[in-house]
Structure 1
Amino acid sequence: MNSTTTGASSNSTTAFISLCVQIPLLSINILLGFPTHSYVLWLIITGNGFATEFFNLNHSFCEIGICVDFLIFLLSSYISSLLPLALFFQGLSITGRPLFQCLICVERYLAVVHPVTFLKYKPLRYRVICCTAAWLFTLSSCLACLIIILLSSIVVHAWFFSIQFLLYLPIQFFCLVAVLRALKQSGPGERKREKEDENQMKRRAFNVILITTVSMAITYMPATISGIYTFLTQQYNVIFWIPSMLSYVLAGFVQPVLYLHRAGKLSCLCS
């Protein structure tokens, strides 16, 4: 009896601490993330670079979906019937965000390392094809998240979460290293002005890939460690996942801030 009472008390304390952390974090992501990504969407749609920023457009749209998922998750505490919908939209967090970040990095990689190929596939229709495939894969991940949680266990879900990060991050590291190597090399016989312009373009691409890769590592590295720990121990500890949630929410603001900085909408950073 004493053991059972102690275990129940420990579980209730853990759940209380988890809620005290989750609710503020999710609320911050909803209150700040939704207007920020909506503003980015408005800038891209009304601006002149719709085709060139098409991947950023889809990334911001995915982030808005994540904010909606967090809102549904909070509401599911009061309306239990909303929980399956919240579980379904988890695929946006697990697959959508890193997938569109990879597309952004691959685009910068092609522009620097393979400019002929980049110009060949520069038209909007190729970006639409890539984003359509990405959305289909993301929706498949959403369905898989719902099925895994409802029919299996949280341990399998942690494995599903971790394995995807281990697939996406090497792609970004490859793009990062390739652009860095191209930045150190200069073509023979180039004029000084042309060489400076090309190096500036390469540096911008390198900075975009570097920031995106670092933000993705901050986003998913703690979650991957937590997922591997959960899979190996076959136990789910809510407290152990709190740092993962903190890093995920904070890193989600990196990409829109990066775009707003490039668009000249953050005067304090641009100065």
Structure 2
Amino acid sequence: MLANTSSSNDSHPGPQLPVMSYSQCLFTRPSSFIYTAFIGLNVVLFLPLFIFILYYGFKQWWRNRSKSSSSAVNNSDCFTYHMVVMEIVGVTGCVISFGGLYGGEISAVKVGTVLFSFTWYGEGFFQNLTCVEHFLAVLYPIAYLRLKNKVGIRIRNVTIGCVWLLCFVGLGLAAKDNYIIMDSCIIILTVTVTPYCCLSVLWALNHQGTWRESVDQSKQRAFYTVVAILGVLILRLAWSVIWIFNLIRANANCVMMTCEVLFNLPSTLVLPLLFLQRAGKLACWKKDDDD
């Protein structure tokens, strides 16, 4: 959550220590160094990864273009493609913030952080959709297979369209420094949908005795996927709760507000890395599968 805290000072005047806005904090030290390192990671490491995923997806689409149905595109892969596009929007915001940070333009920094909030919302929604997809695949495999027809593809596309719409709504709210509505939706999804999917898949695997060597390995991979997403969402949620708690106590400082972007890095990487694992592009997982 990249919330601007200037409204806290307006609504609670008094002898409390002033709390700077998020954009103002980025001009202080060591916050400026922390955010610069974050921008460097996004541009130097993450952006090539995002471009590679889109390039790989385009190659797969070009290879299968003769097929009459788009069902060849895995739902999880489709979610990842859309999330990667949003991540590129976030990287663009980082570049704008960098220019504003070292050009002394706080308005440019604000624009960049608002654009990055668009990515933050997209990550939350698409990660939860990935969990739901694996939940259906394990607990309701017959219904899940039926959703791979044209009707299911249409439902998936409408859902993705709704996610984009919600992210644009969140972007508009963020531009007005009103983060609480969309942030609350993400938090509610994080503490309800993802843990429920994780525990349900775990129960199904144990109930069906699917931890034996003869089990369907795809179900175990589904469980590991949900657990990985749950882990990064809990990490991001935990830091957000700490951030809000200190903000309420008027003890929030610029370093704490800036460090939140670092705790968001695992959430940024989880779906791309899972995509590369499914595509067999990670040598460590490929070796384990061969073993």
Q: Normalised by the shorter chain, which TM-score bucket?
A: 0.7 to 0.9
User: Would you say 1:55 and 2:79 are equivalent positions?
Assistant: yes
User: What's the counterpart of residue 91 of structure 1?
Assistant: 117
Q: Secondary structure at the match of 2:208?
A: coil
Q: Which moved more, 1:126-135 or 1:66-75?
A: 66-75
CA displacement at 1:229 relative to structure 2: 2.3
Q: Distance in 1 between matches of 2:250 and 2:181?
A: 14
**Could you say if the C-alpha distance between residues 160 and 75 of structure 1 is closer, same or farther in structure 2, counting changes exceeding 3 Å?**
farther
**Could you say if the C-alpha distance between residues 213 and 12 of structure 1 is closer, same or farther in structure 2, counting changes exceeding 3 Å?**
closer
Q: Which moved more, 1:246-255 or 1:26-35?
A: 246-255
- What amino acid is aligned across from residue 217 of structure 1 in structure 2? I
CA displacement at 1:266 relative to structure 2: 1.6
CA displacement at 1:216 relative to structure 2: 1.8
1:166 corresponds, among 184, 187, 193, to 187
CA contact (8 A) 1:113 1:182 kept: yes
1:147 corresponds, among 144, 161, 176, to 176
- What amino acid is aligned across from residue 208 of structure 1 in structure 2? T
1:204 corresponds, among 202, 221, 229, to 221
Q: Distance in 1 between matches of 2:32 and 2:266?
A: 18
CA contact (8 A) 1:94 1:164 kept: no
User: What's the counterpart of residue 177 of structure 1?
Assistant: 199
User: What's the counterpart of residue 53 of structure 2?
Assistant: 40
**Could you say if the C-alpha distance between residues 30 and 220 of structure 1 is closer, same or farther in structure 2, counting changes exceeding 3 Å?**
farther
Q: Larger % of helix: which?
A: 1
User: What's the counterpart of residue 101 of structure 1?
Assistant: 127
Q: Distance in 2 between matches of 1:119 and 1:109?
A: 13
CA displacement at 1:227 relative to structure 2: 2.2
CA contact (8 A) 2:125 2:186 kept: no
Runs of 4+ in 1 over 4 A off after TM superposition: 11-14, 159-162
Q: Distance in 2 between matches of 1:130 and 1:13?
A: 35
| Superimposed CA distance per residue, residues 90-146 of structure 1 (whole angstroms, 9 cap, x where no aligned partner) | 332331111110011111111111223323333322211110000000100000001
User: What's the counterpart of residue 236 of structure 2?
Assistant: 219
- What amino acid is aligned across from residue 38 of structure 2 in structure 1? L
Q: Distance in 2 between matches of 1:127 and 1:161?
A: 22
CA displacement at 1:242 relative to structure 2: 3.7
Q: Distance in 2 between matches of 1:256 and 1:235?
A: 35
Q: Which moved more, 1:12-21 or 1:261-270?
A: 12-21
User: Would you say 1:133 and 2:150 are equivalent positions?
Assistant: no
CA contact (8 A) 2:205 2:219 kept: yes
Q: How many pairs are equivalent?
A: 247
Q: TM-score, normalised by structure 2?
A: 0.75
Q: Secondary structure at the match of 1:148?
A: coil
- What amino acid is aligned across from residue 32 of structure 1 in structure 2? L
CA contact (8 A) 2:26 2:35 kept: no
- What amino acid is aligned across from residue 111 of structure 1 in structure 2? A
User: What's the counterpart of residue 5 of structure 2?
Assistant: none
- What amino acid is aligned across from residue 74 of structure 1 in structure 2? F
Q: Percent identity?
A: 21
- What amino acid is aligned across from residue 208 of structure 2 in structure 1? S
**Could you say if the C-alpha distance between residues 237 and 23 of structure 1 is closer, same or farther in structure 2, counting changes exceeding 3 Å?**
same
| Superimposed CA distance per residue, residues 69-95 of structure 1 (whole angstroms, 9 cap, x where no aligned partner) | 211111222255534532431332331
Q: Secondary structure at the match of 2:281?
A: coil
Q: Distance in 2 between matches of 1:40 and 1:13?
A: 31
